Structure 1
């Protein structure tokens, strides 16, 4: 009986401590790690969101850029961070491909507390304005006549732009030469400098299109983008692919539910503010809200789906 009373007292004490902690959270700045460099579409929109959420939650939310490794470094950082809500991270789709392409000691579904899904990217393939590829048919014809010689860049190996382009190439029976970069800014400089023949990226390249420096050959959504009305979708081109690559925010495994809820509520309110919606609109992105529970389910289904994609492209790591 004494042992039972002591155990109950310990459990009640732990619950009280957790409850008190959640009530006082946050008492200091929160770090939000994002997967791409400063100055790109992700960085700009996430900084606006963080600024909005800071005012709601009552503490600064400080952005830390951690580019590279196909956008998976923030999720990896969560594995060694305290589960206290003070370190959170962007979770791009590439995180769900990790176990299939490299050896890791953690599980993308079980070892992250999913807080909220925010948005997704609009993607497309673009070429320099002076490129001989005036349209998608020109691009494909050159690739068929010159296997492996058409170079294109993306924001990293195993990112959605890379894998989707490889899927497109597979469907068309063409071979392309992929060159990975750490972010959209480096990628744009490379194609403008003549180091690449094309880029596959989010529509953060829009200002370069509007300035007459790039031409869009296709976009990857369900319908044409208002900003690029002349650029057909993949589906219009006979390619059965739609890609918008949703992403959101995760916290370390074991973060108290009350803390996750506080973070969720603050970011949900922040993403509904017009300043954030307008920031997304600059890059043809829309809010894609998922609650913590729905985002967790999305992680589970995406994890399974991405395995099929990796295997289809022959990119799975040897067992």
Structure 2
């Protein structure tokens, strides 16, 4: 018997512009045996946001209420922009106390990164950097690998992934706290109390639609702020959407990363699919990770992270 989860939808950033995808995503979750709440958030629109700041913050703060049960899983509907305006409105002490002995887990990516960082920094709550309702589970074609790895990670105390990182990468083995997310979202938190200070970390970053020089500049922001001095490795995901001009003289994202890896002195691995993009692995933010590279193949094993523990049936898989 597959695990049945109680899932609550939240929309902390932009509004859902594809209602058909919302409906498909909800139908797929229900067809897998799960109960879905919070569908009303997909109808909220205020300018480019899914409601006002107070309204969107309240969706998260209600998780701190002791008069109602926590869901097993909280899933962001979509990304966009807007979550940063909620950070000063969240009940971090209440959330920390409520999540202390509960197995509820939150998942999202992109703009959701700022919430993941803030919850970890202020409430010690780990989350999942993974698929969302509209762009992932609601698309016309469901990516089977994304679906299966998400459920395995969300319902298991350990997850693994492997990918080709290139023959030029030296063999290595490092361990540390896995964390990161969208690059511009991370940089927006530099100098604030919402960017967690993680020593000996394995940082993952991804971005979409930013020019190569902007990606390089944001990486330098992390370096100059001292964030990278405390890391053991950097995992680079998708960096799509760049355009080159005549003025670039051939400078592109490959050149940007080659320049930066020489400057930062950290191992930098490419090829891991997460965040924006059609196929993606689910990464446990705050989990303990072991990263190994052998003969151009990277393997990442993550454990000791927050997951939605299986109910009474004891299953760890989902349809």
Fold in common (TM above 0.5): no
Structure number with the bigger relative contact order (C-alpha 8 A, sep ≥ 6) is 1
Bigger radius of gyration: 1
TM-score by length of 1: 0.31
Structure holding more helix per residue? 1
